[in-house]
Structure 1
Amino acid sequence: MVARVKKKRKAMKISQKALAEQSGVSYASIRRFESTGEISLVSLLKIAHALHCLKDFEELFKGSSITNLKDFEG
Structure 2
Amino acid sequence: MPGDVSAGVAERMVARRKERHMSQAQLASVSGVSLGSLRRFEQLHEISLTSLVSIAFALQCENDFESLFANPYYATIEDVEAARKRGE
Larger Rg: 2
RMSD after superposition: 1.4
Report % sequence identity: 50
Question: Which of the two has greater helix per residue?
Answer: 2
1:40 correspondence with 2:48: yes
Give TM-score scaled by structure 1 length.
0.80
Q: Any unmatched runs of 5+ in structure 1?
A: 65-74
**TM-score, normalization: structure 2?**
0.68
- Decide which of 5, 8, 17 is 2:13's aligned counterpart: 5
Which 4+ runs in 1 deviate beyond 2 A?
Answer: 61-64
Q: Give the total of aligned pairs.
A: 64
Structure 2 residues without counterparts, runs of 5 or longer: 1-8, 73-88
Whole-Å separation in 2 of the counterparts to 1:33 and 1:8: 14
